[in-house]
Structure 1
Amino acid sequence: MAVKEKRNIRKEIHTKLDDNVMQGALAKFTSEYPLARLKAYANVDSIDDLRDDLRTMKRWAVDHIDALADEFQHSVEERGGKVFRAATGDDVKKILLQICEENGVQRIVKSKSMATEEIKLNGALEEAGLHVRETDLGEWMLSVAGQKPSHMVMPAIHLNKEQCAGFFEQELHEEVPSDISYMIHTARRVLREEFLNADLGITGANFGIAENGAIGLVTNEGNARLVTTTPKIHVVLIGYEKLIPKIKDAAKILRLLPRNGTCQRMTSYMTMVSGPTPIIYKKDGKWVEENRKQYVILLDNGRLAAAKDPKMKQVYQCVRCASCLNVCPIWRMVGGHVYGHIYSGGIGAILTGLLGNMEAFSKFSDLCIGCRQCTTICPGEIPIPDLIDELRARYVKKYGLSMPEKTAFQHILTHRKVFHSLLRIGSVAQKPVQSGKFIRHLPLFFSGMTDGRSLPAIAAKPLRDRTEDLCKHNPKNPVMTAAFFSGCNMDFVFPDTGESVVKVLQDLNIAVSYPQEQTCCGKPVLGMGDRETGKVIAKQNIEALEATGADVIISACPTCAETLERTYKELFKDDPEWRDRAAALAGKVREFTSFVAEQYKAQGRTLPQNERGSRITYHDSCHMRRGLGVWEQPRELIKMTGADFVEMKDSDRCCGMAGAFGVKYSEISKPILHDKLENIANTGADTVAVACPACMMQIGGGLNQQNPRVKVKHVADILAECIIER
């Protein structure tokens, strides 16, 4: 097993949550970013077309990576450069130290490069007695502060100008006011001497073109251009994933990278370097012209293995714009120093795992809540949450689960009767702390879980014990039959909502059955990476639902619907029998609101108008909107009731529940919930509608303590109320 890194994630989280400077900076940035990005795309006909072009090109590149690397090396060396191939970070250090020794290098300037951070290059060079200076303003300040970047594009985004001035004073031993213009002028003055006296410059590359051996540098400060032109030696450290075939392919990156990374149509500097460039200097009283030396180091460090991996090769579609961080609700709360290792956020978790440190990956990978906000904005269209799930599964397969997880998953969730019996026992055991349908306060060290958010109580009578009576009201001549897959929450926590689902379907002349052998959909298990246990659960559900012979399978939980419809097929892709059964099942699965909206239209049905004058807003579940692509239909159904519907700000931003995450990381979950409750309050609505039991649990618990005037209701409950009033 890999050597465990000593990180106290809990302590780090609390430190960052208490960092008011960082919290203010990230809150401001992440709230302004989406609109600023869209403005940068204002003159673009189709963002999706640009993304598709980039993805297609990058997919071709990774499938031909060996040939591209050969062509790139040939092109660089044909123009006078020299190419090294480094299998590991240690190889890079050896190559660089050899270059420095052969050329008498003493002073080095660097532009921002995450690859050098990845291999901890600076420390190795300094240990060898070399003077190394970062020239990116943010990186320079972080190096003085002894910190690492918290963002791949804006490394010092977590700092304010007063802190920056303090670092200037610490480095320069002079008083520096917290005036941005003054600090920039000071940096220019100090760094100018570094550029002029440097023997060697190190840059990364945003891309490397196989066709002509050129590298591209996209910057706003211009320091990278100086690093390539003032020293006599230029070293490029570039990962294999940055290689692209043709010079025309650079445009595919340049149309997206600045807009997504810094919300600009183009950055201030776009530098292309193709081979060594001439340098003119005075020697013995005469002007001398000669070519600089250019060395290019192609870094592997796990990249070539990823290129050959059918799933993980999708990371080659990343252009390091960091837009996935800019919309990530977890990065917004804790920053990149917590949610990262070298690279931050969800893509950072993936890169950490692929570049050889699965132990570091396991430390923070569960901070990804799978909200899929990153997938909607990634220029390379990388399914980041899916790749994290894949790496989690590989980690579990290699190292196994912890004993508590193993017990819960393999000995409880796979045995439906045991699982459900424990839930029934829980409904009795909770009574001393239960207040109505909520648990408002927990004692001792559990108290933090109910600080500002109530927990839902387990129902005294679950849905499965009510369905026999409910199904007696099925229509005699139904238009179709439906099997209802309720999921755990609707079965044991929100059975009243489960009843509403059945009543709405019956009102549409649909006969409903409730297979008693159904159990948890398995998402909690699969999300933790235990696919073998997930398969056991999936088989139980497939058999239970097949036995009904129903025309459709209805789920009013989007997480369950997505798991039944999509995840099971992927789970059994290598098992022909169960793959076919999973595919047949998936063909029948329908999410409740989209199915009901379709049936109302098909049957020409309307709803009686709700005369209570409700003002309703709607929260989009992550799995609903970005997993299933369902968002219009719930709104249509709410409007059909005659309610005064009002949109809330950031309706599709995660509420912070995300299954077990909301309990395991309640300290992060609750601030995310607070933002959601604030947006709800600003609508003036008396009801917030949802279509997901987990969101109902999170938002309802928050409202119960912080704004009890507003109620949370599943769309099924709102529809059922109208039907009852008919």
Structure 2
Amino acid sequence: MAEQRNLKKEIDTKLHDEVLQDALSRFADQYPEARLRSYANVDSIEGLRDDLRDMKQWTVHHIEQVADEFEASIKARGGHFFRAKDGDEVKKYLLQICKEQNVKRIVKSKSMASEEIHLNEVFENAGLHVRETDLGEWMLAVADQKPSHMVMPAIHLNRKQCAGFFSHELKEEVPPDIPYMIQTARRVLREEFLSADMGITGANFGIAENGAIGLVTNEGNARLVTTLPRIHVVLIGYEKLIPKVEDAAKILRLLPRNGTCQRMTSYMTMVDGPTPVIHKVDGKWVEEERQQYVILLDNGRLDAAHDEKMNSVYQCVRCASCLNVCPIWTLVGGHVYGHIYSGGIGAILTGLLHNMDAFSQFSDLCIGCRRCTTVCPGKVPIPDLIDELRSRYVKEHGLALPERAAFQKILANRKIFHTLLRLGSVAQKPVASKGFIRHLPLFFAGMTKGRSLPAIADVPFRDRYAELAKKNPRSSLKVAFFSGCNLDFVFPGTSVSVVKVLQDLGAEVLFPMEQSCCGKPVLGMGDRDTGRKIAKKNIEAFESCGADVIISACPTCAETLSHTYRELFRGDPVWEKRAEAFASKVREFTSFVAEKYEQQGRLQNVNGSHKTTYHDSCHMKRGLGIFEQPRALLATAKSTSFVEMKNPDKCCGMAGAFGIKYSEISLPMLTEKIQNIKATGADTVAVACPACMMQLRGGLDQQAPEIRVRHIADILAEDIES
């Protein structure tokens, strides 16, 4: 069982760590542009990513064949080869080598896998001297800390802290001067390299064709670790194997650019078997053949390779670019993730290589914004893999009692759910004012710190539809409107706008009363059984109305209905076809309207009076791939003059229940978004997502009440009415 942690307390500590916050904010701001500059002369980044993904996919589907060839190549070059089932086998094997070869001193470089299995502790307990030689890893070892990043393990430290660790370790005063510290490290480590009996490295890749390993570094310490000691040990995971020499180029074109924003790192080292080494024996210099031991580590990797839903994790090349753009990691750093690997990819690796209990403790730190998927060189679908592991954990362990009651007894029962919402609209009256809940008593007070909460509407949309239906044109185009919870019970006025815009397009708008929540909150928690029950009810509700198109003005709902419902019923002999027929009709509102406007010749730029900016919903841009159409519609609106904000597609921090559960993280994300909105000078921010509207309206109500938040449907409807 994983050790239980106070994750909220850890997060709070990191958010108040000024050194960490300064380092992460500067890095997060600089990384995206620096990465793109490194690709300046590349014809097609997507082409490179596709090549890498395809090569890694082929490899994982032939992993035993590739591993056998790698082993044969290593042995043909005179190396020793060992396949380790887990970390314990690695430790036992290496301690035996150390005993047989009289190893006393060990130097290490470039091996996250050794961190994964806590190798250093075993060496130290056996009385062996072991030294990390990568500068960041060395300082972390002195500080007794874990890496917070896969490429820049000590990014959370500043130079004063580093100087303190140097001074403590070397028993001398070391000033916080970076060049001086580097020179000091060279002086101290030189003795370590020269006196070491064994060098241990990882590998960025291992080539089956010839048994070579590749090491991509900027410090050069790995070269010394592989060439000076008389024994070189390579600890490499199955996922690092590639078939041929030419495949290395597919990694090298992407890894440095994504990892450190360089076209190529300072050192690219290839090691292809044992080479002669000269060292002192009894005071005399002796030349002999260096020994090479290659350990191929499983530790859960082969199970992942044979898992058709999880094997895409092999496409990861450990560049950590997913961390560099993750809005959560760039606020709290890596240590809150609790294991060796951090961020979204770290959650997956923890579940696959460590244990699912540890995974479950921080898996909900992934908000599913999919920003990681836009930069990952191997196109690993990180949020999808996390969702899969969540569902497996819930299937085995179940949900906690509060979630189980909320989802299975309330959300899955439309009548109970909607009755409670109606009761809530009455119960909230003592604390609600003009559509907001601005203050809550007692221990609820923190929920309204920095933002107001939305009030439930007095009259939901479903009670207003009948009057709107009277204005339906007689039309062959029958459009069913899926409102979702927010547009039905929180923003019914926006639902009215949606219907008016669709009617203006000449559509007869239908509204099946049996529809309910799309099920995303349930599915996001991993409860797919309840999610299927909700999906079936929604599918049945819309089948009965006979619509040609199903419109959703919530991109989260649209993605769930059109994508997730298909996956939920994959292989189901009865429901797969019904889900497919339903999903194929689903359209997101702005993309549908923009298409119709273009057909009708209505997409014409108009320079309106209100300076308006636009926030991209995560599910909208990266889930559905819709980002040009909302801007095109805003350009046609008589009231808007469009201006782009900085980072328009960076998450606002709502992310469903995340915004409430982790409000301490959500609020800094919201504040950054509001600062970017204010910097445009806009008096209106347009959105196409009710959840984002909820978050931004609440934040602006307290931080900049002069700025309005409007759904694009409301802006278009206003034009129609005028």
TM-score by length of 2: 0.99
The unaligned stretches of length 5 or more in structure 1 are none
**Residue correspondence of structure 1 range 109-188 to structure 2 within 5 A:** 109-188=107-186
The match for 1:357 among 333, 352, 355 is: 355
Structure 2 SS opposite 1:574: coil
State the secondary structure of the residue aligned to 1:42: coil
The question of whether the paired residues in 2 share the 8 Å contact of 1:371 and 1:622 is answered with yes
8 Å Cα contact 1:75/1:213 also seen in 2:
yes
Question: Contact 1:610–1:722 (CA<8 Å) still a contact in 2?
Answer: no
Q: Distance in 1 between matches of 2:268 and 2:2?
A: 41
Report the Cα distance in structure 2 between the residues aligned to 1:339 and 1:685, rounded to whole angstroms.
38
Aligned 8 A contact 2:85 2:298 in 1: yes
The 8 Å contact of residues 2 and 355 in structure 2, kept in 1 or not, is answered as no
Distance 1:113 1:346 in 2: 20
1:638 aligned partner? 634
Alignment partner, residue 242 of structure 1 = 240
Q: 2:669 aligns with which of 657, 669, 672?
A: 672
Match of 1:382 in 2: 380
Q: Tell me, in whole angstroms, the C-alpha distance in 2 between the residues paired with 1:92 and 1:409.
A: 44
Pick one of 246, 260, 263 that aligns with 1:262: 260
Secondary structure (helix, strand or coil) at the match of 2:334 reads helix
1:412 aligned residue: 410
Distance 2:20 2:637 in 1: 44
Taking the aligned partners of 2:281 and 2:604, their CA distance within structure 1 comes to 90
**Could you report, residue by residue, the CA deviation over 1:356-404 in whole angstroms, capped at 9, with x for unpaired residues?**
3100000000000000000011000010000000000000011111011
Aligned to 1:191: 189
1:32 paired to 2:30: yes
Please state if 1:555 is matched with 2:555.
no
Q: More deviation in 573-582 or 678-687?
A: 573-582
- Out of 491, 494, 519, the residue aligned to residue 491 of structure 2 is 494
Q: Does 1:658 pair with 2:655?
A: yes
State the distance in 2 between where 1:492 and 1:429 align: 14
Aligned-residue RMSD, C-alpha: 1.1
Q: 1:472 to 1:610 in 2, by over 3 A?
A: farther
Deviations 1:565-617 (A, max 9, x none): 01001000020221111111111110000000001111233689686x10000
Task: Tell me the residue number matched to 2:600.
Answer: 603
Following the alignment from structure 2 to structure 1, what is the Cα–Cα distance between the partners of residues 90 and 208?
Answer: 21
Residue 426 of structure 1: aligned partner: 424
1:627 aligns with 2:623: yes
Q: Aligned equivalents of 1:417 and 1:7: distance in 2? A: 38
- Identify which of 697, 711, 716 aligns with 2:713: 716
Does the CA contact (< 8 Å) of 1:607 and 1:722 recur in 2? no
Question: In the alignment, what sits opposite 2:13?
Answer: 15
Residue of structure 1 aligned with 2:682, choices 685, 696, 707: 685
1:436 pairs with 430, 434, 437, which one? 434
Q: Provide Cα deviations, 1:96-135, integer angstroms capped at 9, x if missing partner.
A: 1001000001111000311011101111111111111000
Which aligned pairs between 1:386-397 and structure 2 lie closer than 5 A? 386-397=384-395
Structure 2 counterpart of 1:43: 41
Q: Secondary structure at the match of 2:107?
A: strand
Q: Is the 8 A contact 1:340 1:348 kept in 2?
A: no
Given residue 273 of structure 2, which amino acid in structure 1 is its aligned partner? G
Alpha-carbon distance between aligned partners in 2 of 1:205 and 1:285, rounded to the nearest angstrom: 34
Question: How many angstroms apart in 1 are the aligned matches of 2:222 and 2:602?
Answer: 65
- Matches of 2:123 and 2:593 in 1, distance apart? 65
> Which residue identity lines up with residue 349 of structure 2 in the other structure?
L
Q: 1:142 and 1:384 mapped to 2: Cα distance?
A: 28
Q: Does 2:471 correspond to 1:483?
A: no
The reply to whether residue 586 of structure 1 matches residue 583 of structure 2 is yes
Q: Which residue of 2 aligns with 1:647?
A: 644
The answer for the alignment partner of 1:213 in structure 2 is: 211
User: Is 1:535 matched with 2:535?
Assistant: no
* Residues 284/496 of structure 1: CA separation in 2 closer, same or farther (3 Å cut): closer
Letter in 1 for 2:275: T
Q: Unpaired runs of 5+ in structure 2?
A: none
Does residue 1:328 correspond to 2:353, yes or no? no
After superposition, give the CA deviation of every residue in 1:122-168 in whole Å (9 maximum; x if it has no partner).
Answer: 11111111111000000000111110000000000011111111111
Contact 2:607 2:635 in 1 (8 A): no
Verify the 8 A CA contact 1:608 1:723 in the aligned structure 2.
no
Aligned counterpart, 1:617: 613
- Quick one: distance in 1 between partners of 2:573 and 2:458? 42
Change (3 A) 1:284 1:108: closer
Which amino acid in 2 is paired with 1:690?
V
Residue of 300, 304, 307 corresponding to 2:305: 307
**TM-aligned CA deviation for residue 414 of structure 1:** 1.0
Distance 2:476 2:595 in 1: 14
CA contact (8 A) 2:603 2:632 kept: no
State the 1:340 CA deviation. 4.6
Q: State the AA in 2 paired with 1:40.
A: S
Contact 2:607 2:641 in 1 (8 A): no
* Equivalent pairs, count: 721
- Partners in 1 of 2:285 and 2:122 — Cα distance? 36
User: Is the Cα contact below 8 Å between 1:331 and 1:339 reproduced in 2?
Assistant: no
Deviations 1:158-179 (A, max 9, x none): 1111111111111111111111
Aligned AA for 1:474? N
C-alpha distance 174-284 of structure 1, shift in aligned 2 (>3 A): closer
The DSSP-based 3-state class of the residue aligned with 1:630 is coil
Q: 1:94 to 1:608 in 2, by over 3 A?
A: closer
Q: Cα 1:204–1:621, aligned 2, differ >3 Å: closer, same or farther?
A: same
Give the AA of the match of 1:639. A
Q: Is the 8 A contact 2:605 2:635 kept in 1?
A: no
Corresponding residue number in structure 2 for 1:569: 566
Using the size of structure 1 for normalisation, the TM-score is 0.98
Distance in 2 (CA, whole Å) between partners of 1:284 and 1:590 is: 79
Question: C-alpha separation between the residues in 2 aligned to 1:233 and 1:398?
Answer: 45
Q: CA deviation digits over 1:54-88, x for unaligned, max 9?
A: 01110111011111111111100110100011001
| Partner Cα distance (1:103, 1:239) in 2 | 24
Per-residue deviation, residues 262-304 of structure 1 (Å, max 9, x unmatched): 0000000001001111112355676532111100000000000
**What residue identity is the alignment partner of 2:511?**
Y
Q: Is the 8 A contact 2:606 2:635 kept in 1?
A: no
CA displacement, residues 681-709 of structure 1 (integer Å, 9 cap, x when unaligned): 00000000000000000011000000000
Question: Which range moves more in the overlay, 286-295 or 495-504?
Answer: 286-295
Distance 2:179 2:4 in 1: 40
TM superposition shift of 1:7: 1.1
Question: Is 1:293 paired with 2:298?
Answer: no
Q: Which residue of 2 aligns with 1:203?
A: 201
* Aligned-partner residue type, residue 367 of structure 1: L
1 CA distance for matches of 2:621 and 2:236? 37
Is 2:694 aligned against 1:697? yes
Distance 1:197 1:48 in 2: 46
Secondary structure of 1:275's counterpart equals coil
Residue 710 of structure 2 aligns to which amino acid in structure 1? K
SS at match of 2:127: coil
